[in-house]
A = this chain, B = another copy of it.
């Protein structure tokens, strides 16, 4: 839970009361085995969820059986905030590693939002950043070479891990199989393997037994064409017109 707090506190500390409320809202703890689905395409979304430990993947399975990973969820991420406006999942969320999540039923989230307006904005911001990550993912799969795609994926994951304090300088855990990297980048396992060897051979990274080490960040980021703007990491929240800020929504009857 501390990890999520750290993310929410990017633009200012939470007070003790807000933390208490968050803990009380995300109260339903659930474990997931590797490969297990925490939410499944076609089913009702289970609730707003916070990942406490492990890594998840949003993915879609195409009619021909191919799998495309749409996003990777890291510890501290809060996702599916908005699930209450839709009644059916259009994709699945599965555990890439053993994982622990904390689920908040939408009724609880909405009560939280009503009682703590500032939290509601912070939570909303999480889903906005999530959308920005989706866009970056599109550009990655659409217009980059295999080499650049994987480099970009590593850049994103490293920066996001670092943002929640889960990275050493230029190193972090990355317990993903090459098949998973392929599903995330739209590449075949075989080609992922070859690109990894290139990246290692160029002295940019090493990746062994679930540990990623970046030996030359500048070069890796350059090869990836990585621009971290889209992670919206260190921006102030308010739009800065000096005005008092924006509520978002309030309530809805039926």
Q: Give the docked Cα–Cα distance between A229 and B88 (Å).
A: 8
* A interface residue count range (under 10 / 10 to 19 / 20 to 34 / 35 or more): 35 or more
Q: Give the docked Cα–Cα distance between A253 and B130 (Å).
A: 23
Q: Which residue of B lies closest to A236 (CB)?
A: B87
Within 8 A of B (CB), among A37-86: 42, 44, 58, 60, 62-64, 66-68, 70-71, 82, 84-86
Q: Give the docked Cα–Cα distance between A66 and B113 (Å).
A: 41
9 A-B pairs in the complex with CB atoms less than 8 angstroms apart: A44-B239, A63-B227, A106-B239, A114-B250, A117-B253, A131-B131, A137-B138, A141-B141, A245-B252
Q: Which A residues fall within an 8 A CB radius of B?
A: 12, 42, 44, 58, 60, 62-64, 66-68, 70-71, 82, 84-88, 90-91, 106-107, 109-110, 113-114, 117-118, 120-121, 123-125, 127-132, 134-139, 141-144, 185-186, 225, 227, 229-230, 232, 235-241, 243-254
